[in-house]
Amino acid sequence: MNKESGVLKAWEATIRKTQAAKKRANNFLGTMSVAHVDDDDDDSNDDKDNNGRHSGEIYHAERVLPNGDYYTGQWCDNFPHEHGKYLWTDGCMYVGEWHRGKTMGKGRFSWPSGATYEGEFKSGYMDGMGTYTGSNGDTYKGQWIMNLKHGNGVKNFANGDWYEGEWRRGLQEGQGRYQWKNGKHYVGEWKNGEICGKGTFVWTNGNRFEGYWENGLPKGHGSFKWVDGSFYVGNWSKDPSEQNGTYYPPESSPEANLEWDPQDVYNIDLCDCKICPGEKVSILPSQKKLAVWRSTKSGDGAKPRRVSVDGRVSVGIEKPMDRMRIWDGDESSDFVSRTPIEERDSEDDMLGLHNDDVIPRGVPKIPLKVPRKAKRQGETICKGHKNYELMLNLQLGIRHSVGRPAPAASLDLKSSAFDPKEKVWTKFPPEGSKYTPPHQSCEFKWKDYCPLVFRTLRKLFNVDPADYMISICGNDALRELSSPGKSGSFFYLTNDDRYMIKTIKKAEVKVLLRMLSAYYNHFRAFENTLVTKFYGLHCVKLTGTIQKKVRFIIMGNLFRSDYTIHRRFDLKGSSLGRTTDKPETEIDETTILKDLDLNFLFRLQKSWFQEFCRQIDRDCEFLEQERIMDYSLLVGLHFREISTAGDLIPSGTQSPTGDSEGDGVPRLSRADMDQLLLDPSRWASIKLGLNMPARVEKTIRRNDCEFQLIGEPTGEYYDVVMFFGIIDILQDYDISKKLEHVYKSIQYDPTSISAVDPRQYSKRFRDFIFNIFTDDT
């Protein structure tokens, strides 16, 4: 105890001396880093440090570091290792297990405010089971992933409220129970920290509401029940004009509660039931920097560099030439100790992208080149284009359909709304009519299929009707992609790239209408579904001598992003014909590559990978039940590090000149990632399959195996932003596909062809996808 007291006094004295020294240095010499320098260069034994210890030897050490930090505990190769205590000058402290300078295992982190976290750490992050006690008295005990509550946990708030249930990215999401200090409680579904979905609210007097909620308030179908047995059932909304229902009195007292107003639930009963926001962490453990020594000789006298507890190198204490000297290859330099692969500036640890094992597995490295840039996709449809009038018809019809007045739709639709016969025909004469404006195109008829369903789907997808109309029907013309797809369908893109319009066959219309009810319910049940989003199904019929019908569907464009999509893959898990027919010189950023062109494995952060696997299973089960096959996973990759020479830079390295992508494309910086952690609400910009930071591992196929679906991993990783989703879901296993299967099975291996039974297709697709996707552990 006396020894520890003496060490702490020495630590405090060092802080005072360090601050005074920095102040004098700033006054006389300008800003300088304060660091001990030992210029002795002993080459007699490279395997020993200045104290004669061998590399890799673990020993106990006490360090009062040049910046005033203090460490005591096990030490190995100039890093805290195994068990030790680290005190920062701002009062933060960590006591627990370490692995080569990173908090790893069980430990306790305390803040100067009095807040503490005790539990499991991984690569510098609170990750695993742990308990956080805030300075205001809040406590949380449960699961964590990368500094955020994620999984099952219990939180007791300082004001007396408590919550037990599921968490996701730091907020309540899933099933959970919240109880207020006054005894009221809610049990049910949550989303983004708010009551949302189906659940039950119980008041202290025994009254209860059972039904659907949105943004913390009753919304949709629900019932209010009194303890005397009376109840009110109907559609609920804070807007009185949307509120409607029926009151059922109790048999014992028919006059009870007749004066009750449903709006009292919003204005009186729930007004004091706010969800406590809790305390925000001021600084995260992964943001704390360690002042530790790093040198070629592992000597205690080498120059210090500050490293965060998740392994990131800080530039705050480096001299301007430090970064260049890392790359100059001078073995005599104290700063040169590792190859660029090993010297990791792993700003991506926040999303689980850090990995120490990046040494290639005996495969010679051939630098990957960024695909050549392509012109903007599509030909603008202007006057004189063969499909100019069709585009005008389409825009007139969309404007009419979306702009048509309609009552506010509930998400609970009647079965009649999904009837294939539920369609609306509208005639558009050139001179206009009572319901349509005059136009310059030929006369045509416009058909809306199941308009209420698609209107509600757009609401479910949070699509603003005005924005939707402007994207498709604004002054900017649509763009037609250069060639039709394999099915003969034509594709059109809106000018803002937000929506894609595809012409489809009558058979595909029938398939969608047949499965529309199941499709709608699937999206209501699974917010993170990867299945294509459909926004409208329409038909244009040209009148006169032509009598031509054009049916088309409006979909979301998966690759609409501020990021440049460098590589695109359409993946099915089959091998026959699954390679691009373009020569290498014609492949660019917009080329859709296929299964046999794939040269990467995709690595997602663990929690995202688990959610991905669950969702792929759900989506494939849905498609299998609807007898759908021949769908594929469309994947887009944006490579985050590209040299000026056009080479892709592997994860954890930089070009010698520090060059990276220079086209102004946004990328996640270290500051962005730290801000994401401090403000979990910003995680909303990252969704499953959208804007997902990840890593890909390069693979190489064997030359002796022509149809090897998955290449051999090389251990070479690249940081990417990923986009992916399931497309082409309107092909059912009809007679033509059955005949195709029989015909091709005679000539080829039946397992290699696309046309197979939906159950077999689903299994093969899942097996393939789960082999090329993995968690980044």
Amino acid code (one letter) for 456:
T
Write down the pLDDT at residue 343. 35
Write down the pLDDT at residue 233. 86
DSSP 3-state percent helix, strand, coil across the chain (nearest 5): 25, 30, 45
Mean pLDDT of 339-348: 35
Write down the pLDDT at residue 31. 35
Taking the CA atoms of 637, 642, 645 and 649 in sequence, report the sign of the dihedral they define: negative
Q: Which two tokens stand for residue 367?
A: 């630098």
Q: Which residues contact 745 (CB under 8 A, 6 or more apart)?
A: 753
Mean pLDDT of 388-413: 82
What percent of the chain has a predicted confidence (pLDDT) above 70? 72
Is the distance from CB of 230 to CB of 249 less than 8 angstroms? yes
Write down the pLDDT at residue 34. 32
For residue 341, pLDDT beyond 50: no
pLDDT in tens, 710-755: 888 888 899 899 999 999 998 876 666 556 545 555 555 555 556 6
- Integer Cα distance of 76 and 509 in angstroms: 67
Strand intervals (E) in 192-327: 194-202, 208-214, 217-225, 231-236, 244-248, 289-293, 304-308
Write down the pLDDT at residue 411. 82
pLDDT in tens, 665-711: 444 444 455 555 555 555 566 889 998 888 999 998 766 555 567 88
- Integer Cα distance of 734 and 741 in angstroms: 11
For residue 367, pLDDT beyond 50: yes
Scanning the structure block, which residue is given the tokens 């058979």? 507
Candidates 676, 580, 572; CA nearest to 350 is 676
Write down the pLDDT at residue 326. 26
Candidates 70, 65, 8; CA nearest to 36 is 65
For residue 513, pLDDT beyond 80: yes
Stated as kind and residue range, the H or E segment containing 619 is helix 606-625
Q: Count CA atoms within 13 Å of residue 39 on its CB side.
A: 0
For residue 72, pLDDT beyond 80: yes
Write down the pLDDT at residue 164. 93
Mean pLDDT of 292-298: 44
Burial of residue 382 (number of CB atoms within 10 Å: 0-12, 13-18, 19+): exposed
- Integer Cα distance of 61 and 84 in angstroms: 9
CB atoms under 10 Å from CB of 430, counted, come to: 12
What ranges in 583-734 are assigned the alpha helix state H?
606-625, 670-678
Q: List, by residue range, all CATH 3.30.810.10 domains of the chain.
A: 560-650+673-776
Q: Which two tokens stand for residue 131?
A: 């308990």
Q: Which residues contact 44 (CB under 8 A, 6 or more apart)?
A: none
Give the CATH superfamily of 560-650+673-776. Answer: 2-Layer Sandwich (3.30.810.10)
Scanning the structure block, which residue is given the tokens 């505990």? 73
pLDDT in tens, 551-604: 999 999 988 888 889 999 999 887 777 888 777 777 888 888 988 889 899 999
- Integer Cα distance of 775 and 759 in angstroms: 26
In sequence order, what are the beta bridge partners of 503?
552
Write down the pLDDT at residue 382. 81
Q: Which two tokens stand for residue 505?
A: 């066959």
- Integer Cα distance of 40 and 761 in angstroms: 68
- Integer Cα distance of 310 and 123 in angstroms: 5
Taking the CA atoms of 685, 688, 690 and 691 in sequence, report the sign of the dihedral they define: positive
Right CATH for 58-158 from 3.30.70.20, 2.60.450.20, 3.90.1150.10, 1.25.40.10:
2.60.450.20
Is the distance from CB of 363 to CB of 700 less than 8 angstroms? yes
- Integer Cα distance of 288 and 86 in angstroms: 11
Q: List, by residue range, all CATH 2.20.110.10 domains of the chain.
A: 180-254
- Integer Cα distance of 415 and 254 in angstroms: 35
- Integer Cα distance of 232 and 307 in angstroms: 62
What percent of the chain has a predicted confidence (pLDDT) above 90? 21
pLDDT in tens, 171-204: 888 899 999 888 889 999 988 888 888 999 998 8
In sequence order, what are the beta bridge partners of 632?
727
Topology at the third CATH level for domain 380-557: Phosphatidylinositol Phosphate Kinase II Beta (3.30.800)
Q: List, by residue range, all CATH 2.60.450.20 domains of the chain.
A: 58-158
* Cα separation values, 443 from 382, 383, 396, 541, 544, Å: 19, 17, 12, 9, 8
For residue 29, pLDDT beyond 80: no
- Would you give the DSSP letter of residue 230? -
Write down the pLDDT at residue 747. 53
pLDDT in tens, 194-242: 888 899 999 888 888 999 988 888 888 888 888 888 888 888 888 888 8
For residue 336, pLDDT beyond 70: no
Pairing between strand 773-775 and 600-604? parallel
Which range among 47-56, 249-258, 326-335, 360-369 shows the weakest confidence by mean pLDDT? 326-335
- 320/545: higher pLDDT: 545
Mean per-residue pLDDT of the chain:
76
- Most confident segment among 83-87, 339-343, 573-577: 83-87
CA angle, 767 then 773 then 774, to 5°: 110
Q: Which two tokens stand for residue 180?
A: 């207020």
Q: What phi-psi label fits residue 503: left (phi over 0), alpha (psi between -120 and 50 degrees) or beta?
A: beta
Please report the DSSP string for 1-52 in residue order: -HHHHHHHHHHHHHHHHHHHHHHHHHHHH-S------------S-TTB-TTS
Write down the pLDDT at residue 666. 44
Q: List, by residue range, all CATH 3.30.800.10 domains of the chain.
A: 380-557
Write down the pLDDT at residue 682. 53
Which range among 3-12, 387-396, 593-602 shows the weakest confidence by mean pLDDT? 3-12
CATH 2.20.110.10 is held by the domain 180-254: yes
Write down the pLDDT at residue 766. 92
Write down the pLDDT at residue 750. 55
Candidates 314, 270, 357, 417; CA nearest to 88 is 314
